[in-house]
A = this chain, B = another copy of it.
Amino acid sequence: MIIVLKPDTTEKQREHVLDYIKDFGLKAHVSEGAYRTVIGLIGDESVLQSVPLEALPGVESVMPILKPFKLASREFHAEDKIVFARGVPIGGPHVAIMAGPCAVETREYLDVIARAVKAAGAAILRGGAFKPRSSPYSFQGLGEEGLKMLRETGDALDMPVVTEVMDTRQVDTVARYADILQVGARNMQNFDLLREVGKAGKPVLLKRGLSATIEEFLLSAEYILSEGNPNVILCERGIRTFENSTRNTFDVSAVPNIQSECHLPVVVDPSHAAGRRDLVVPLARAGIAAGAAGVLVDVHCEPEKAKCDGPQALLPPAFADMVRELGLIANVVGRSIVRGPVQDSKSRSVPKHPTRAPKPAE
């Protein structure tokens, strides 16, 4: 950590800063510059994470040298993490397609849609039973009834299922039915929920908050990891910006950006990013081209009857065309689409992936 002192700091204030630091067992390294005095701290700066250094008289600014997350970092775990959901790998060389209706509505719709996405190449079935809705008057999901339908359909088609959990009190119930617990964007900083899913013993798909920085996103993953659950999948699903012709702005750079400092797999959700059906396919292609470990896509056989997000759902034929294109693009970046469970699910980690980031000959 670097502490910069104000130009008019008194000798007494300076001594106070140095004493303050010493109390935390850190060594100070003082540089008297031409315009400012700079104090470098040597030792484990994580002890200062909650300490209000900026509140000390005479301090102009404080700059951390280390990232505030640890278990989520490449320094802690260098290789790409591969998360397995009922044997289906996500991460490393494996690209997983997760598709299904936004919300579970009826057994019939779910069955038709699930068969279609499975046939087209999806490995994992998605569908919401508890739906976070901006308005209290919108459809809120079928609850446990929806979870049952999802489980049965997943079992019938041998597809692991991913579904959202919104409340700490639902975690046990959802974990009984789902193979992957999804934490939605609006709950990315619901810290009690993060802790509970960290304890639930199932992989977690954590969506990025609408205005979360990459650092905050990884700190939320850290909450889950620090409960002993290493199976976290990160999902970029669009951020809030001034642009209003799309629902959110799909931050495709989050994929390589996160991968450069974090070992967890990153998937993308172009459906919720765009909110418009006509942009879903190009954004899915962009995500895979940027190195994503998977896509999460809303598909519906009758979008105009969908109870949630119909305008962004792909029809099955468009979805099938998309999966074909994604397979070709995945190959360009040295990966391939996984169609179902793999035999050897023991090796939960593989060497750093070669296409992860450009390594210019330095």
Contact = CB atoms under 8 A, between A and B. Distances in A.
Contacts of A309: 52
A295 B154 CA distance: 42
A20 B315 CA distance: 19
Contacts of A279: 253, 256-257, 260, 357
B38 A40 contact: yes
A213 B314 contact: no
Interface stretch (A111-119, A129-137, A174-182): A129-137
A53 to B, nearest CB: 8
A342 to B, nearest CB: 25
A282 interface: yes
Contacts of A318: 358-361
Given A137-B49, A304-B56, A332-B325, A285 B290 contact: yes
A324 to B, nearest CB: 9
A222 B211 CA distance: 22
Interface residues of A, number: 123
A43 interface: yes
A219 interface: yes
A66 B60 CA distance: 11
Contacts of A256: 278-279, 282-283
A220 B133 CA distance: 10
B166 A52 contact: no
Interface of A: 2, 4, 7, 20, 29, 31-36, 38, 40-44, 46, 49-50, 52, 54-57, 63, 65-66, 68-69, 75, 132-139, 166-169, 186-187, 189-193, 195, 209-211, 213-216, 219-220, 222-223, 226, 239-246, 249-253, 255-257, 260, 273-274, 277-283, 285-291, 303-311, 313-315, 317-318, 321-322, 325, 328-329, 332-333, 357-362
